[in-house]
């Protein structure tokens, strides 16, 4: 059964005519949305660094392993933001690396809000070592050779509105569809094109409610939309206890339920962990998914972070 499921997973990315572009999944997206929305770039009051590592479906052969690193900060009296992000992902014999530069420009929106416009541009590098797979049928041309290592460009755009306690964002993080196609002769063709009908739209929203001086509640949601595919959504609620302990629960539509636990070591340094329990049959063959996030907010010289932000 494990081999059958692994074949299904690999087929999602390497079958004839398959779409190679897909987005990495993070349970703790709410602590750093720069990867999915360039308009988030520089929205904090100082330079911010974030490292997230995800081990999905532990003990499952060929499981996704993803590592993301982002660095961003405000410029020009907070009117602009600049950042860079790196992502590495391994799924079985599939490996890819993404590097992006992000830029955001902000304007005031009302007395307490800001509206940010963001752009991102970067490169994708993907290699599929299909020849290392053991095919169930001898001579299967789809797993007889590796795909070439090709670097392709990609772009994204987004909007992000926020105050000290509320935010909402809309973005298309990757606009270029880069696909590998197997020909009838067994050769591999690679195409790169702008494909509007394959855009992934992300809508995020959240708010921080102060219950009392020792308890804050931060509910948020993310909706992912793409043409000809079911709507996907994440619903989450985090509780901040005595400004030190984060505890939360999350639900991903028809996929997982998650528990989150974090420590605000200092007002600038956050350590957060999440565990996903799959609601699908794959849970029988794995020990769930683990994700850890480290976040640090630097203070500039002669500048302190006056207003606490929780997203």
**pLDDT for 281-292, tens place per residue?**
888 888 899 999
pLDDT at 12 over 50: no
Average pLDDT over every residue of 234-243: 95
CA distance 28 to 42: 19
At 281, give phi and psi (nearest 5°).
-65, -20
Query: Is the pLDDT reported for residue 97 higher than 50?
Result: yes
The full DSSP string for 258-298 is EEEEEEESSSSEEEEEEEEEESSGGGGGS--EEEEEEEEEP
- Average pLDDT, stretch 72-85? 92
**DSSP structure class, residue 27:** T
Q: How confident is the model at residue 179 (pLDDT cuts 50, 70, 90)?
A: low
Q: Tell me what pLDDT residue 46 has.
A: 87
Q: Is 162 exposed, middle or buried (0-12, 13-18, 19+ CB in 10 A)?
A: buried
pLDDT of 293 > 70? The answer is yes
Partners of 251 in beta bridges: 235, 257
| Of residues 199, 244, 241, 238, the one with CA closest to residue 22 | 199
Please report where in the chains the tokens 């902000």 appear, as a residue. 106
* Bigger pLDDT: 8 vs 37: 37
Q: Which contiguous run of DSSP H or E holds residue 9?
A: helix 2-14
pLDDT given at position 256? 94
Q: Looking at residue 134, what is its pLDDT?
A: 64
Average pLDDT of the chain is 83
Of 156, 185, 186, 183, nearest to 169 by C-alpha is 156
Q: State mean pLDDT over 248-267.
A: 94
Short-list 259, 263, 258, CA closest to 246: 263
The pLDDT-based confidence of 197 (bands split at 50, 70, 90) is confident
pLDDT of residue 140: 57
Per-residue pLDDT averaged across 224-245, rounded? Answer: 91
pLDDT surpassing 90 at residue 79: yes
Asked if residue 306 has pLDDT above 70, the reply is: no
Q: Give pLDDT, residue 21.
A: 47
175-192 average pLDDT score: 64
Which pLDDT belongs to residue 17?
A: 36
For residue 181, the SS3 value is strand
- Which domains are seen in the chain, by residue range? 2-297 (2.40.160.40)
CA distance 8 to 280: 14
Q: How far apart are CA 213 and CA 282, in angstroms?
A: 42
Instruction: Specify the 3-state DSSP secondary structure of 131.
Output: helix
Torsion, CA 26, CA 256, CA 23, CA 41, rounded to 10:
-30
Contact criterion met (CB below 8 Å) for 97 and 87 = yes
Q: How far, in Å, are 5, 55, 56, 63, 285 from residue 59 at the CA level? A: 13, 10, 9, 8, 7
| Cβ(82)–Cβ(73) below 8 Å | yes
Confidence at residue 20, expressed as pLDDT on a 0 to 100 scale: 42
3-state secondary structure of 301: coil
User: What single-letter DSSP state applies at residue 186?
Assistant: S
Q: How much is the average pLDDT of 214-221?
A: 96
pLDDT of residue 251: 97
Instruction: Write the pLDDT tens digit of every residue in 106-138.
Output: 999 988 899 999 999 999 888 776 666 666 666
């Amino acid at each position: 059964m494990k081999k059958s499921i692994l074949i299904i997973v690999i087929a999602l990315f390497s079958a004839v005519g398959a779409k190679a572009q897909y987005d990495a999944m993070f349970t703790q997206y709410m602590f750093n949305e720069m990867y999915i929305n360039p308009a988030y770039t520089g929205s904090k009051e100082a330079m911010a660094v974030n490292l997230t590592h995800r081990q999905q479906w532990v003990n499952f052969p060929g499981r996704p392993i993803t590592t993301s690193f982002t660095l961003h900060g405000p410029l020009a009296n907070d009117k602009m933001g600049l950042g860079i992000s790196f992502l590495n992902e391994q799924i079985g014999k599939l490996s890819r690396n993404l590097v992006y530069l992000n830029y955001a420009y902000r304007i005031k929106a009302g007395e307490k809000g800001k509206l940010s416009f963001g752009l991102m541009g970067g490169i994708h590098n993907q290699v599929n070592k299909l020849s290392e797979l053991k095919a169930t049928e001898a001579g299967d041309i789809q797993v007889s050779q590796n795909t070439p290592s090709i670097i392709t460009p990609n772009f994204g755009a987004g909007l992000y509105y926020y105050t000290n306690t509320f935010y909402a964002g809309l973005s298309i993080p990757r606009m270029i569809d880069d696909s590998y196609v197997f020909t009838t002769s067994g050769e591999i063709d690679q195409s790169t094109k702008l494909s509007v009908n394959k855009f992934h739209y992300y809508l995020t929203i959240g708010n921080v409610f102060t219950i009392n001086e020792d308890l804050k509640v931060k509910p948020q949601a993310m909706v992912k939309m793409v043409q000809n595919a079911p709507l996907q959504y994440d619903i989450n609620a985090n509780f901040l206890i005595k400004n030190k302990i984060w505890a939360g629960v999350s639900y991903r539509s028809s996929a997982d339920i998650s528990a989150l636990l974090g420590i605000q070591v200092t007002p600038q340094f956050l350590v957060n962990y999440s565990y996903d329990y799959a609601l699908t049959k794959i849970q029988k063959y794995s020990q769930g998914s683990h994700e850890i996030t480290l976040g640090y907010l630097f203070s500039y010289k002669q500048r302190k972070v006056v207003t606490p932000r929780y997203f």
